[in-house]
Structure 1
Amino acid sequence: MKNLLLFLFLMISFQIVSQEDAWVFLKDKPNKTTFLENPLSMLTQRALDRRIKLNIELDEIDVPIDEDYYSQLKNETTISVLAKSKWLNAIHIQGQVNDINSLLSNYSFIDHIEFANKSLNSSGKTISKSKIINANHHNKFNDVLTDFDYGEADNQIIMLKGNYLHEQGLTGKNQIIAIIDAGFPNVNTLEAFSRIRDNNQILGGYNFADRNDGFYSRNSHGTHVLSSIAGYLEDEYVGTAPDAKFYLFISEIAETETVLEETLWVEAAERADSLGVDVINTSLGYTTYDDPNHSHTYEDMDGKTTFISRGAEIGASRGLLLVNSVGNSGNSSWKYMGAPADAPSVISVGAVNASGAIASFSSFGPTADGRIKPEILGQGQNPALINYSTGNVTFSSSGTSFSSPIMAGLIACLNDYESLVNAAVYSNESLKEAIYKSADKYNNPLDQYGYGIPNFETAFNSYLESLSVIDVSFINLDIYPNPVKNTFTLSTDDYSNLKIEIFSVLGKKVSEKENIFSNIINISSLKSGIYLMKVSKDNQQKTIKLIKQ
């Protein structure tokens, strides 16, 4: 009887002190007008330029979380604030269930609360243990297979016809790639990364896991991932986008597996967006956690349930190209992709071996709502990488963790084409469609294979057609002076049939001129600021940044 009472006492005590994870979703953003009128207070000019190019307007989603709301919750003594997301207007907290629930009545600005433990939510949704396999944590990065008998990077690039892009001069020079991963030790010292260091291609980074600037730290997984894109050893090794620039973000806490990592990833993606990043590679995926009550079911793999996948979809709507490993669960009883690979707009990448045969560990689709996943495949079984400790091309690991960045680098190279031409329409969806259609199983996709292995030569030619490339003779058109006071002059003798459209940095059209009778254009009605001017004629078009004094 004493033992039973002791057991009950311990159980009650555990319930009293146990901490739960939850997201507090806020009702509004009171200062949204101020931020939208001053977009450079929340996004860099490069980020704004990307939005304008893709015709994506800024909106309330881009506005930061209200500082007053955040401060009030941060000062709340009954809970701990761990992270936040402006895209979802949510704050990640920990605390006891009663204390978390009491926030709804204490703070009028809270819309609703979602617990990571779904059984605590008002819907009463519970986790079916039969649909969660291996829920106990293990270090996911210990699962890689290692050997030292393989060639250089040729096969993993030529398999995808990535060499064709490089031959066109598309090496990622005008692209910024963010790697969101578990750590980047020795990237600041290894010879294989000296090229990107010496050329100032590492633009910065942040360690969200430890809340500091020490991103050359933690788990070596990110170093190996980065090497497949940016590594360079003369006559020995070349990554898939050797001239791209990079931000390095740590969101993964490798020694544990907690739902906080989903929120940290969203924070990192938001940072990447604000800095004008073009492509994000994520060689991470989330299905199970140390606390099995937080783990996801297959039904959650619908692209709209998990916090991280909801964030990924918003990121794509901001113009980011998101590339994600589909996962290494193909041989397990779970076997399916993880989040955010399930998100509709994420390019999910599976793995093949050097011969192009599917790697058995590569995770399966479809998503819970029946969509094809993965979309495409790259070499993930024994690809050539850089050993983070020796710096040699003698370290090989297997996993979709590496097929994903190999692919992300080539996607950035293809996207780099936009920087070299003027086009009528830019579209991430057109780029993705060109890649998918070039794959060898596009007309007969399979659950583990997806659309298959893409051909970037075919994708390039298809994407070129979709861009409606402009006659190069029109590229010589320019304006002067710039900055402009009230009028500027078009540097062309033939201004007949020109159409001029001027857009604000928010992507809104503020002026339009047709049937022009002079090459001197008056913009005195516009306020001072930065604008984007599109000049078009027939099937020709050029975009010029305009500064109004």
Structure 2
Amino acid sequence: MVTKYLPEMNRKLLSIFIIFFSIIIHAQEDAWVYLTDKPDAAYYLANPLEMLSQRALDRRTVQGISLDNTDVPVYPNYITQIENATGITVMAKSKWMNALHVRGSLTNIQALENLAFVDYVYYANHSLNLRSGNPITTPISESKSSDTNDKFDVQVNFNYGNSDNQIQMLNGHLLHQQDHTGQGKIIAVLDSGFTGVDTATPFQRLHDNNLILGGYNFPDGNANFYMRHNHGTMVLSTMGGYVDGQLVGTAPDAQYYLFITEDINSENPVEESYWVEAAELADSLGVDVINSSLGYGAYDNPNYSYSYAQRNGQIGFASRGASMAFQKGIVCVISAGNEGNNTEPHIGIPADADNILTIGAVNNVEAYVSFSSIGNTADGRIKPDVCAKGLGATISNTSGAITTASGTSFSSPILAGMVATFWSAVPNLSASQVIQYVKESADQYNTPDIYKGYGVPDFQLALTNALNTESFSTNQVSIYPNPVSSILTIEGVQLQNASIRIYNQLGQNVLSFDLLNNQNSIDVSVLNSGVYFYDFSSNNSKLRGKLIKR
């Protein structure tokens, strides 16, 4: 081997060039530009099918969710003006936040604040933000992760093979035996890539039944989502994979959208913005459940990284996006992360979000696995919420071989598939009710901890509890929200001569209302937090169920 050496002067010039180039690279900043308004909001709100699918509108109707300005797209002319600004690249956009993710020099980004339609700029570099508190107020209505049946009318018997433990642990097989396998529910998978999903045998059943509805590749800006990486492939296999006698997913008959939001080549906050864009697209397509086995804490630029104190559900862009998805009637299921053995062992972004299910990992006997990131959130909320098998989970790789892998990346989709399967059995429940039933069914519900949260759910118990409320079983009356903080709404075809009585757990009548003149709301704010029971009756309906008061 012959080694060549540069002359001394050339070496000095090269060194200067490298230093200069490094300065230029690090001079580039990422930021979110928050806009003041949406001038065309009235048009979109009057023509909702211009911004949302009928399925998305139906989901809102079932859950009593109104349209608002957050459903309206970002104003195109504002995007164009910022794209044309000196030295600015628009990387992503969010209608929910009315914000654009931009990249450019600090000077050029600062100049954007002179535009009349720019409210303010929030930098990914936390030290550059002069604002105190939250970057934006996201209204709340209520990780790249390192990786006895005889009482039922049995309709489906799967040969689970080695995947039996991860399903039976959750009593998911009991729901499958009752023919609840995710039918009618759509799951969006937000991940790093799905190589082999278009060719590998474990996914053939999905293709044969037209259960993969589409997807998008956000980092590359195209519709080629069967590429980039294998992580999403393995994740999807735990929900939708099928090889008789080897692997059955927890929601084998759900439908799926596959979204690439993770850029494996770098760690940058733009991935959070892609995540929110994907969640918004999922919402518009009528998705019911989002699974994301991704999480963020440390970035390549340490100035962009999140401290534990910032993991409160209100700082991370993706965390606020996940909470917003809930407000649109979607259940987000997020992996807790695999940082449990690290110096910073806590859950990341967006696992810290409010009103989602954050999933930790347990082994085959339901014991906590040490790599699983711990809680609570910085503001003291219980995390993780619940757990599923994450050590030695049975998965498919890109070639279709059935093998095992470990990480909350797999406990999350195993749980997400069961959420869709449970919801398919009681389809008129709200996202809030689904989350609450899952938590209440878990084995540590009364004694949660920072390792397993509320513990391992029992989906047969969740289904039994949901069926006992009877609230979904009539097409004439709907009572929501449940849990409720103050105002309880009763909707129905006819509410004449209607009354509702609320009882505590001792059977004592604590509130009574006669609904006059088709009155459809009552104030229950005087009740203490806890579990109550309601008895509703009218000329044509009777309804009893459990009511949770926040």
TM-score where L is the length of structure 2: 0.79
Verify the 8 A CA contact 2:230 2:397 in the aligned structure 1.
no
* CA shift for structure 1 position 14: 5.0
Structure 1 position 470, deviation (Å): 3.3
1:258-407 alignment, distance < 5 Å: 258-389=268-399, 391-393=400-402, 395-407=403-415
Contact kept, 8 Å, 1:179 with 1:280, in 2: the verdict is yes
Aligned counterparts, 1:370-449, within 5 A? 370-389=380-399, 391-393=400-402, 395-419=403-427, 426-449=429-452
Are the counterparts in 2 of residues 470 and 539 from structure 1 also a CA contact under 8 Å? no
Alpha-carbon distance in 2 for matches of 1:403, 1:13: 43
Instruction: Tell me the distance in 2 between the aligned counterparts of 1:235 and 1:151.
Output: 4
Aligned counterparts of 1:253 and 1:496: Cα–Cα separation in 2: 53
Structure 2 unaligned blocks of 5 or more: 1-8, 134-142, 148-159, 478-493, 499-515, 519-537, 545-550
Task: Give 1:96's aligned residue.
Answer: 105
Q: Equivalences for 1:145-156 in 2 at 5 Å? A: 152-156=162-166
Which residue in 2 is equivalent to 1:452? Answer: 455
Contact 2:333 2:416 in 1 (8 A): yes
Cα gap change, 1:455/1:81 in structure 2, threshold over 3 Å: closer, same or farther? Answer: same
- Closer, same or farther in 2 for the Cα pair 1:53/1:496, shift >3 Å? closer
Amino acid of the structure 1 residue aligned with 2:380 = G
Counterpart pick for 2:206 among 196, 199, 207: 196
Partner of 2:177: 167
Deviations 1:411-467 (A, max 9, x none): 001111234xxx6xx322222111111111111111111110111111111122234
Q: 1:75 deviation in Å? A: 1.7
Residues 455 and 76 of structure 1, relative CA distance in 2, 3 Å threshold: same
Indicate the percent of aligned positions where both proteins have the same amino acid: 46
Paired residue for 2:512?
Answer: none
Q: Secondary structure at the match of 1:384?
A: strand
Is the 1:184–1:215 Cα contact (8 Å) retained in structure 2?
Answer: yes
Measure how far apart 1:468 and its partner are.
Answer: 2.1
The letter for the 2-side match of 1:324 is I
More deviation, 321-330/151-160: 151-160
Contact persistence 1:215–1:250 (CA under 8 A):
yes
Q: Displacement of 1:371 after TM fit?
A: 0.5
Which amino acid in 1 is paired with 2:461? T
Kept after mapping to 2: 8 A contact 1:340/1:346: no
Q: Is the contact between residue 144 and residue 293 of structure 2 (CA under 8 Å) also seen in structure 1?
A: no
Pick from 61, 71, 86 the counterpart of residue 77 of structure 1.
86
Aligned-residue offset at 1:387: 1.9
Distance in 1 of aligned mates of 2:326 and 2:395: 28
Q: What is the distance in 1 between the residues matched to 2:98 and 2:471?
A: 38
Kept in 1: contact 2:334–2:356 (CA 8 A): yes
Q: Is the 8 A contact 1:385 1:396 kept in 2?
A: yes
**Secondary structure in structure 1 of the residue aligned to 2:404:** coil
Q: Deviations over 1:261-312 (max 9, x none)?
A: 0000000000000000000000000001011110000011100011111111
Q: Displacement, 1:513?
A: 10
SS of 2:396's equivalent in the other structure is coil
Shift of 1:236: 2.3
Name the CA shift for 1:471/1:323 in 2 (closer, same or farther; >3 Å): closer
Structure 1, residues 472-505: CA drift from partner, whole Å, max 9, x if none?
9x89xxxxxxxxxxxxxxxxxxx99699xxxxxx
Distance of aligned partners of 1:160 and 1:245 in 2 relative to their CA distance in 1, 3 Å threshold:
same
Q: Deviation at 1:7?
A: 9.4
8 Å Cα contact 1:25/1:88 also seen in 2? yes
Q: How far has the Cα of 1:123 moved from its partner?
A: 3.6
* Pair 9,428 (structure 1): closer, same or farther in 2 beyond 3 Å: same
**Contact residue 375 and residue 384 of structure 2 kept, 8 A:** yes
SS at match of 1:364: coil
Aligned partner of 1:483 in structure 2 is none
Q: Which residue among 218, 221, 225 is the counterpart of 2:228?
A: 218
| Distance in 2 separating the partners of 1:111 and 1:470 | 47
Q: CA deviation at 1:327?
A: 0.4
Residue 65 (structure 2) aligns with: 56
Q: Give the corresponding residue for 2:117.
A: 109
Q: Residues 210-265 of structure 1, C-alpha deviation per residue, up to 9 Å, x if partnerless?
A: 10111000110000000000000123221000000000000001121111100000
Q: State how far apart, in whole Å, the 2-side matches of 1:274 and 1:12 are.
A: 45
Q: Structure 1 residue 168: deviation in Å?
A: 2.0
Contact 2:356 2:435 in 1 (8 A): no
Stretches of 4+ aligned residues off by more than 3 angstroms: 2-17, 469-472, 495-499
AA in 1 matched with 2:286: G
Contact 1:241 1:409 in 2 (8 A): yes
Number of aligned residue pairs: give it: 463
Residue of structure 2 in register with 1:25 after alignment: 34
Q: Deviations over 1:324-365 (max 9, x none)?
A: 000000011110001111001110000001111111100100
| 3-state SS of paired residue (2:97) | coil
Which residue in 2 is equivalent to 1:517?
none
* Residues 29, 351 of structure 1: alpha-carbon distance in 2 compared, 3 angstrom cutoff: same
The residue aligned with 1:180 is: 190
Deviations 1:34-77 (A, max 9, x none): 00000000000000000000000000000000011011111223
2:52 to 43, 56, 62: 43
Q: What is the CA–CA distance in structure 2 between the aligned matches of 1:113 and 1:233, rounded to whole Å?
A: 50
CA distance in 2, matches of 1:4, 1:219: 40
Measured on the aligned residues, the alpha-carbon RMSD in Å equals 2.9
TM-score normalised over the length of structure 1: 0.79
Structure 1 residues 536, 379: closer, same or farther in 2, change over 3 A? farther
Contact 1:282 1:323 in 2 (8 A): yes
Question: Which string of whole-angstrom CA distances, capped at 9 and with x for unpartnered residues, describes residues 356-401 of structure 1?
Answer: 1111100100000000000100000001111222x122x2110000
Residue 385 of structure 1 aligns to a residue whose secondary structure is: strand
Structure 1 unaligned residues grouped into runs of 5+: 126-138, 145-149, 476-494, 500-511, 515-534, 542-549
Match for residue 461 of structure 1? 464
Distance across 1 between alignment mates of 2:240 and 2:199: 14
Larger deviation, residues 24-33 vs 70-79: 70-79
- Is contact 1:175-1:277 (8 Å) kept? yes
Shift of 1:6: 11
